[in-house]
Each structure stands twice: as C-alpha cells, then as structure tokens.
Structure 1
Amino acid sequence: MFSLRYILFACLSLSFTEAYDITYPPCSIKDNDCVIDLFQKVFHDLGENGIPEINLPALDPMKLSNISIKVLDEIVIFIKEGVVKGFKNCKINSFNINLEKQLAIPELYCEVLTIKGHFVIEGSSPLLQSLFGTTSIKGEGKTKIKLDKITVGLETPVSIIKKEDGQTYFKVLTNKPKYTYDIKKVTFEAKNLVIGKTDLSQIVTAYVNENWKTLLNTYGKEIVDKAILIVFEHIHTFYDNISAEKFIKDDLTPYIQN
C-alpha cells in the first residue's frame, strides 16, 4: 500500500510540476532587462491561456464571483459574477528581485481594464438622502467599469525554498503586499439598476462619473485590495508549481531559507 501511495504521489507531482515547461531562455537574476522581457512573455501567455497543467486559469478574462466591497460607510456592493478583461495587454515596466533583502519589486502598467458584472447593492447611509430621497437602498443590476492607464507598483516579500524534488522554488511570503497604484480615469455605467420599483441606472451612472476621483480616493484601496488578493492567488499557484530553474539560470541554493 505504501508503494502504491508513493507511486501515485510521484505521478501527480510530475504531472503538476513538469508537464508545463517555460520555453524561453532563462535569465540571470541580475539582468533586469532579460527578467522583464521573460516575465512579460510569461504574463502574456498566462493572460491568454493560463496553465492547465497546474490548474491555473487564464488571467484574461479573469472571472469574478461572490466579491463584496463596502462603500459610503455602510453600503455593500456584492458582485455575484463578473469578468475582468485586458490583463494580457498589460506591460511590465520594471521587475527587480533582491534575494538578499527577500524582495521582488515589479511595476505593472495596463492601458485599459474593463470590468463587467451582475451586482447586488444594499445598505443605509445619510449620504443617500440627497441622491435617492431615502437613507437605505436594496437592489441589483449590471455594471461596466472602464479603468484607463493603471500603474501598480508592488513590494513583495519572497524567499527561495528547496522542495522534495530537489529543485529550488520562489515562495511568495504574503497575500497582502505593499503596493502603490494610480488610475488616470474611471468610466462607470449601470444598467437595470432597480431599487424598489425604480430604475436608477442613469442617476447612479451620472453620480459616479461626476465624482469618480473622490470615490476612488476614498474607496479605491479597498477595491484594489480585493484585486491584489485575486491576482496573488494566481501568483502563488505559479511559483508553487514552476521551479526557479525554469526561468533563472543562476545558482540560487545560497539563498535557500528552509
């Protein structure tokens, strides 16, 4: 029985760690231009195709489901289902890896991202009185949000570990990295946003588009936090299953932490 379990484990390990092979030449970790070019190609491939061999879905479109965001203090927007498009066209502006400091510091630029989804909105706030004539709302509808010229800089703690297969892997040490972001423009559109018996799509659309800078400054971080968590689920899956030797040609054993 032990032998059978061992054989099954070995087969599964091979299917998940060796079935996918990066076909680009590996880089020196000190060659920033090469690292940027390599990860740009990998990022584009992930965007279009994902990596089925390690159960990593495509980034573009990225599916959303059951995500809640609180705005205006007590108003909860619950995204039942939706998609984000545009990730495959994003560019890596810079990508520095400092293993002495255990940090990876990439900067990502996306010309346009669009979010479409079906959402539920519910809650109460005195701020609603001037908008809807009531302090509480409950309704649902569809939305499209266009984000223009997004720049995100990440500071991600990483280490090098050695697994039982004898290979080294990058290990991302957090789901909540330090980050900065800048969004040059937000365009919002609501459809069939029915609250009570009234379709308030036009009112909400006009309000958000007139006040998007204020809303982004106030609630943007919570929204970006949610996005970072989703993206880092993909990052963890990638690094947990693809050995560092596939894309870094330097000997990383001096940096092993485990």
Structure 2
Amino acid sequence: MFQSKVIILSSAIFVLCSAAAIFDKINKKCDFNDSECLQALYSGILAEATNNGIPELGVPKIDPFELKNQQISILGMINIIIAEGTAKGFKNCVGNGFQNDVESLSIKVSLICENFSVSGKYKIEVTPVLKAIIGTIDIHGEGQGSVAIEKIKLDLDIAYGVSKNENGDIRFVMKPDDTTYTFEFLDNVKFAADSIFIGSQDISTVTTNILNENWEFIAKTFGKSVLDLALVVFNDNAQKVLNALPVKDVISTDLTPYVKS
C-alpha cells in the first residue's frame, strides 16, 4: 500500500513539474486586461500543443489529430460516421484578432485557417427523417472520404469561468455550452468519397461531382457540423491544459473577485 502511494505521488510530481516546464518555456506573465500579452500566451500554448502535443497532460499532438467514431450530421437527414480518420490544418490557423472581455469572461478570437481537412474511413447512416421521404430506396456507403477546406474565417466567442480547485488554487474552466462562433468560407471546399451506392449502383463519382460543383451551398449546409467537431477537439484538450495551468504564474492580476463556485 505504501509503495503504491509513493508511485502515485511520484507520478503526480512528475506531471506537475513537466507542466511547469512547459509554462516556463512559454515564459509569459500577463495582466488580465492585457489582451496583447494574453494573445501571445494563448498562441504559445496552442503552438506547443499543435506541433508537439503535451503528453504529460494527456494532450496529443493536435495536428494531425486522430478521429475515431465521430459523427457528422447533415440536415438531420444523413449521419456520416468517421470510424477512423484524421483532421489536419490546426497549425495553419492564424489569428488576426484577440480580445479578453473581463466583464463577460469570454475571449473573442478571429482566425483565418487554410488547408484544413478531414479524411478517413466513413460510413453513411440514413436517418428516419430521410427514410420517410425516400421510402424503400436503399442509400448506403462505406469507404474512404475527405473534405478539404481551402480557406475559412472563424470568429469565436470562447466562454470560460474562474474557479478554485480542491487545493484552493485558481484555475480557468472552459464553458463550451456558452461558446459561440460564426464562419465564412473564403475559398472553395473539395469533396472526395468512394463506395456510395443506391441499391447496387455506385454513385460515388456523380455524388462528389455534384458536391464539388455546388460546394458553396453544400459547405454552408454542413459546415457547422464539421466545425462543431473541431471545437470538441479544441475544448477537450484546452481543458486538460487549463487543469494544470498555474494561473498565479502566468497572470499577474488577483483573480479572486472573478471566482464563482
């Protein structure tokens, strides 16, 4: 029993020390109202996670990011299940606006992302809504597919909270349910897929040609589903970093007034 406790304690110390080393590497301490400094801090942590990952915090290398059993819904008609795949392009996002709103506890970020893509093994699942429309027509698909976004502008309003953990240390907490965003495609979107069938007839080429010829309408239709998936990845991994972030070491302002139970 004693040996187990020693091992657990040693592991905890290793993680904390490694986390501290990462934040020392970034070497930033900001006033809570200094958006320019906070942007540099945010960009430093994001770059570390994107390029190298932070394995001691359980944060994988974000670009490329592995996807498993993720679902994208299109108009409630068709679900696309990504059994195994990757998302690439997080590292190609460049910030052109950053503002920390201390009143609403939200960060407003504007990004331009280029060459973002999702690819891998997929399966089409027709929903009851579409079945009610098409009747006995058998639409199915299972193969390789991809969506490549050439250029997109994202305006994020990332909500967060300030809390104290069980040790009385102040931490930031992501609030994904209160986070909102808008997006605009600045260049075309390319689709590719094989093994799409109506009955026994392969309609892959016809389907992808239609999608690519009408990419602007299609992208607006399903774009939010893809971006929602990307934000799940971002929120999950951002919270892992924030759980270990020594706020007192990177923020010079006393955040006690902002703490909510």
TM-score between the two structures when normalised by the length of structure 2: 0.84
Mapped to 2, the partners of 1:9 and 1:94 lie a distance apart of: 42
Mapped to 2, the partners of 1:174 and 1:191 lie a distance apart of: 34
The answer on 1:30 being equivalent to 2:29 is no
Q: Is the CA contact (8 Å cut-off) linking 2:137 and 2:198 kept in structure 1? A: no
Q: Is the CA contact (8 Å cut-off) linking 1:78 and 1:120 kept in structure 2? A: yes
- Give the stretch that moved more between structures: 4-13 or 42-51: 4-13
Q: Which amino acid aligns with 1:17?
A: L
Tell me which residue corresponds to 1:139.
141
Mapped to 2, the partners of 1:9 and 1:256 lie a distance apart of: 30
Q: Is the CA contact (8 Å cut-off) linking 1:175 and 1:229 kept in structure 2? A: no
Tell me which residue corresponds to 1:240.
243
- Give the stretch that moved more between structures: 112-121 or 86-95: 86-95
Mapped to 2, the partners of 1:227 and 1:166 lie a distance apart of: 32
Q: Is the CA contact (8 Å cut-off) linking 1:95 and 1:106 kept in structure 2? A: yes
Tell me which residue corresponds to 2:15.
16
Tell me which residue corresponds to 1:181.
183
Where does 1:76-95 land on structure 2 (aligned, <5 Å)?
76-95=79-98
Of residues 66, 70, 73, the one that matches 2:73 is: 70
Tell me which residue corresponds to 2:44.
41
Tell me which residue corresponds to 2:126.
123
Mapped to 2, the partners of 1:173 and 1:8 lie a distance apart of: 33
Q: Is the CA contact (8 Å cut-off) linking 2:78 and 2:126 kept in structure 1? A: yes
Q: Which amino acid aligns with 2:71?
A: S
RMSD across aligned positions (CA): 2.7
Of residues 102, 106, 111, the one that matches 1:103 is: 106
Mapped to 1, the partners of 2:75 and 2:256 lie a distance apart of: 50
More helix as a share of residues: 2
Query: Measured at CA, do residues 48 and 159 of structure 1 come closer, stay the same or move farther in structure 2, by a change above 3 Å?
Result: same
**Alignment length (residue pairs):** 253
Residue-by-residue CA offset, 1:223-245 (whole Å, 9 max, x unaligned): 32222222211111111122223
Question: Displacement, 1:47?
Answer: 0.7
Tell me which residue corresponds to 1:152.
154
Identical amino acids, percent of aligned pairs: 29
Question: Displacement, 1:165?
Answer: 4.0
TM-score between the two structures when normalised by the length of structure 1: 0.85
Mapped to 2, the partners of 1:5 and 1:252 lie a distance apart of: 36
Query: Measured at CA, do residues 183 and 245 of structure 1 come closer, stay the same or move farther in structure 2, by a change above 3 Å?
Result: farther
Question: Displacement, 1:120?
Answer: 0.9
- Point out where structure 2 has 5 or more consecutive residues left out of the alignment: none
Query: Measured at CA, do residues 32 and 175 of structure 1 come closer, stay the same or move farther in structure 2, by a change above 3 Å?
Result: same
- Point out where structure 1 has 5 or more consecutive residues left out of the alignment: none
